[in-house]
Amino acid sequence: MSEQIRGKVLVAGVGYSELGRDTGRSEGSLAVQAILGALEDAGFTPDDVDGLAAYPDRVSGPFEGPSIPYVQQTLNFRQLSWYSSFGMSGPAQLAPVASGVYAITSGAASVVVCYRAHRRQTARYYSPTSLAGNLATYTSAYRAPYGVPGGAAAYALWARRFMAEWGYTEQDLAAVVLNCRHHAQLNPRAAWYGHPLTIEDYFAAEYIASPLRILDCDYPIDGAVAVVLAASDRAPDLRYRPVAVDALSHAAGPALEWDQWPDMGNMVSRYVGEQLWQRTALTPADVDVAELYDGFSWFQLAWLQDLGLCAPGEGGDFLRSGAGRVGGRLPVCTDGGQLGEGRLHGMGKLAEAVLQLQGRCDSRQVADAQVAVACAGGGTGATALLLTAGD
Amino acid sequence: MPLTEIDPAWAGWSGPIPQPEAEAAPFWDGLRRGVLVIQRCRDCHTWIHYPKASCPACHSFDLGFEPVSGRGEVYTFTSVAREFSPGVRPPYVAALVQLEDAPTIRLVTDLVGCEADQVHIGMPVRAVFQEVSAEAGLVFFTPRENGVEQ
């Protein structure tokens, strides 16, 4: 498959809305700001856009964002030839990007805007619509009555088994959180910018669902991120150095519902990682910067070992050694991640990877970054992209 | 064994009420009656959960439900400090329990009759039941050392 992708699709531009704990703005306003920013970043106008993809969609889960029709009409996209939204049943938050890549390689579109916009989660319950009236329907009937509808309670169950099988401890979770918080101090966009964290602070934080503390859960914020993908023949039109999509994977594992996953010593990153490296001439040793998903801290330990970026079971040691910091062997989550910058549902992973490969990250810039990996997802569904500087 | 024999203070159910799908009605009715029944393929004998229309192993449509002992062990667990489902009040210990008679089957459940700091992966447990509607019950698990084995 990589032959159909490599050299054919560029990330042409990225854009962020204002990010904040409470911006007072609508999701639509955040989305439009991010998309206009990404188009300007690429040097494009709305008339260049012929593809549009969103995560999440309006109907599939508790995370909702401005709809494709809202964005199409507000930005007056008149040339769309492909559009789609992606929900909670897909291969996680970078699904619109993966499908945008396919839209371009297939010829269905040539310039695709992918966006994610969301206001800070304020609902008290992790309650899909199937819980309306406190009735647990379909497969939520097997989980919600036990207080495990999804979210932190579900991923705490998986975390404990994963940690037990690899020998990870809460010290290793702390290493993830501290590494992200360190990088957040270098990123003025980050929600925790100006708020460093000590290991004592980490262990003083309350448990949400053991072994996960509140600091192991990504930080809900208001914000939008947009990414513009383009066919490689648009490279001469771009304002900044092009970034090429080298390979991607969103391989599924044995089960798409978390409680049916047969071996919780692993998560889906095992399958995504294996397939990603089968689809490229690059190797894990070539990666200069890794924007790894951290919706929950332990996901990052799984991604590190499943992408071959550290030895299995050694993710905590890797991070404690400083190897994962800017200036270290392989900087991880250079923007602070979702634990430090705030929850951007994985789209921030791709945007930061692109900015790193373009050399636009100021004090957190990874020197001579040529190859980056960006991934989103944990548990049963995920997508990873391998990106290279230049077209 | 009903839940009230483990925890006499148990009074009613304030959490979400399962709405059984037709394919799964025998499972839910079993829990209501205090019996754990799991779907099984009559052709290749594969255990199936959640209940499905056909066997994932051999695609047979000839499926039935068989009672199992309710004995199992804790595959993983978490002590929950927030109210994730309306009316399921923290603290509680949620778990995945692997069934002794059908070891490929794991159930999401809560552990009752024990303190969180007593729980460990591999802990032997057995099923207790709570009727929550005319169509459905829930299955909880308690350490096997609690009370008399059925």
Distance CA A288, CA A56 (A): 29
Could you list the beta-strand ranges (E) of chain A: 9-16, 51-54, 82-85, 111-118, 135-136, 207-209, 212-213, 223-231, 243-249, 289-291, 371-378, 381-389
Distance CA A4, CA A304 (A): 27
Q: Name the maximum alpha-carbon separation found in chain B.
A: 46
Looking at residue A124, what is its pLDDT?
64
Distance CA B47, CA B105 (A): 7
Looking at residue A129, what is its pLDDT?
46
Q: Name the maximum alpha-carbon separation found in chain A.
A: 56
Residue A249 three-state SS: strand
Looking at residue B53, what is its pLDDT?
96
What Å distances lie between residue A279 and A231, A292, B131, CA to CA?
A: 20, 19, 52
Looking at residue A59, what is its pLDDT?
54
Residues of chain A with pLDDT under 50: 128-131
How far B14 CA lies from chain A's nearest CA (Å)? 9
- With helix as H, strand as E and coil as C, how does chain B read? CEHHHHCCCCCCCCCCEECCCHHHHHHHHHHHHCCCEEEEECCCCCEECCCCCCCCCCCCCCEEEEECCCEEEEEEEEEECCCCCCCCCCCEEEEEEEECCCCCCEEEEEECCCCHHHCCCCCEEEEEEEECCCCCEEEEEEECCCCCCC
Q: Do A148 and B75 touch (CB under 8 A)?
A: no
Residue A147 three-state SS: coil
Q: Which residue in chain A has the smallest CA separation from B75?
A: A161
Distance CA B135, CA A178 (A): 49
Looking at residue A130, what is its pLDDT?
47
Six-digit token string for B61: 């449509």
Give how far the C-alpha of residue A244 lies from the chain's centroid of Cα atoms, to the nearest Å: 18
Start-to-end C-alpha separation, chain B: 8
Q: Do B116 and A210 touch (CB under 8 A)?
A: yes
Residues of chain B with pLDDT under 50: 149-150
Residues of A with CB under 8 A from a CB of B: 124-127, 131, 134-149, 151-153, 156-161, 164, 206-212, 259-260, 262, 264
Q: What is the pTM of this model?
A: 0.96
Q: What is the ipTM of this complex?
A: 0.95
Nearest beta carbon to residue A135 from set B17, B80, B81: B17
Cis-peptide, bond into residue B91, ω within 30° of zero: yes
Specify whether the CB–CB gap between B56 and B47 falls below 8 A: no
Q: Do A142 and B82 touch (CB under 8 A)?
A: no
Q: How many C-alpha atoms does A249 have within 13 Å on its Cβ side?
A: 20
